[in-house]
Amino acid sequence: MTAADAWPSAPPRINRKQLAAVCMGNGLDFYDFVTFAFFATQIGRTLFPDNGGNGLLYALLTFGAGFLTRPLGGIAFGRIADRRGRVPAMLMSFSLMGVSIVGLALTPAYATIGMAAPVLAVTFRLLQGFALGGEVGPNAAFLYEAAPRGRRALYVAMLGVTQNLAVVASGAVGAILSAWLMPAELDAYGWRIAFLIGAAIVPVAAWIRRTLVEPTMPDAPEASLLPRRSRSLVIGGFLTLAAGNVAFLSIEYLGTYAQTVLNLPAENAFHSILVLGLVAAATDLVAARLMDRGIPAWWLVLPWAVLLVFIIPSFMILTDLRTPGALLAITAFLGIVLELTFIPMLVVFIGALPRTARATLVGGAYALAIAIFGGSAQPIINRLLAWTGNPISPAWYMTLAAAVGLVGIVMLIRNAPRPLRGLTA
């Protein structure tokens, strides 16, 4: 029996609206991530006491608090998805996400309600992290199991596509609001508008999600092989997810790097984020189509090896040229190489896990990787620059991430049952 035989003869069909509704939660995750970072200064001045100019610090700490509850959400909603069904878990996590985002956006200013403002901000951020942690596992499991035969990678890739397009949308909203509103207006209500724009999709997407039919894809017999190598398999998936998130967020940091290190104009930072989001989304689709047609195992390994070799030379070129063109070229190159392996890796990881634990293990591994490494990647790069004074130092951290990713993907491939890999060799 092959992996293809694991599909039911008539898989539940989901239309484009339903597919978009499933993926919107992951898109909203990245939209929220970039929006909070973009408006951290305004949030700090509005919701926190300005003791010695620490409002921004308090806002960033609140931003990080959301990462603490992600693993709890990943495990909790994953268990619901594995026991009660994918659809109930997706409805619960998405609804909680909407409530928490709206709550943060509507929290009165510190000048109005005093210490209740930061308390509410932290509370809503913790709830939001819990809800966001519960999106990836159930959504990824649903898309993998509901996909028509020969299109599972393409369906799973839509998670990455919506995430990357959300980065573009967030950058565009931030740029438009910054251009149209005065600084005092951004502090008062501009940042709130950005969050409410994201939250506006929640009722529509939640209503569409209610129309989804629970997939009934059974486990292939090869899934019984999992218990003997589950630890190595999950560790390999976790390491690859962690390295992928560090690498992507490090590439995203190039926008800030362009301003603080290369002394390029601020608009170049937005351009680099725009390029990264677009090329990553396009690469996800290309990689998915190739995966559905069958790719050799070395395809998943080669991009990590390329990153390992070319990250430091890329930064050397960038710091030598210091031009907008070089920034965009390096951003596009690193983004394309990374995304060529990410979706195929995710498909292999999802498919290698038994259905009864799939949402919990995928969601838990992803949320834990984000919590530990996603929230710390850019601050670590910032500190490396401050401690060393070396403009190449971010490349060291990215190279370490590439090495971890290389080890993780090899572990994943070696321990995934071959018929479930979706690989030709």
2 has pLDDT over 70: no
Which pLDDT belongs to residue 319?
A: 93
Identify which has the larger pLDDT, 333 or 219: 333
Using DSSP's 3-state secondary structure scheme, residue 295 falls into strand
- What are the structural domains, with CATH classification, of the chain? 15-217 (1.20.1250.20), 224-425 (1.20.1250.20)
What number is the average pLDDT over the span 79-105? 93
d(CA 151, CA 285): 11
pLDDT tens, residue by residue, 35-79: 887 787 788 888 888 766 666 677 777 777 888 899 999 999 999
> What dihedral do alpha carbons 424, 162, 179, 65 form, nearest 10°?
-100
pLDDT tens, residue by residue, 330-357: 999 999 999 998 888 999 899 888 888 8
pLDDT above 70 coverage of the chain, percent: 89
Which pLDDT belongs to residue 205?
A: 86
d(CA 23, CA 204): 13
pTM of the full predicted structure?
0.85
244 has pLDDT over 80: yes
Which pLDDT belongs to residue 425?
A: 41
124-133, 233-242, 269-278 — which one is most confidently predicted on average? 124-133
Which residue is listed with tokens 């050397």?
316
Output 11-16 pairs: Cβ under 8 A, ≥24 positions apart: 11/145, 11/146, 11/147, 11/148, 11/149, 11/215, 11/217, 12/146, 12/212, 12/213, 12/214, 12/215, 12/216, 13/148, 14/146, 14/212, 14/213
- Tokens, residue 36: 């909070």
> Which of 7-11, 30-34, 108-112, 306-310 has the weakest average pLDDT?
7-11
Q: CB burial class (10 A; 0-12, 13-18, 19+) of residue 113?
A: middle
CB 205 within 8 A of CB 25: yes
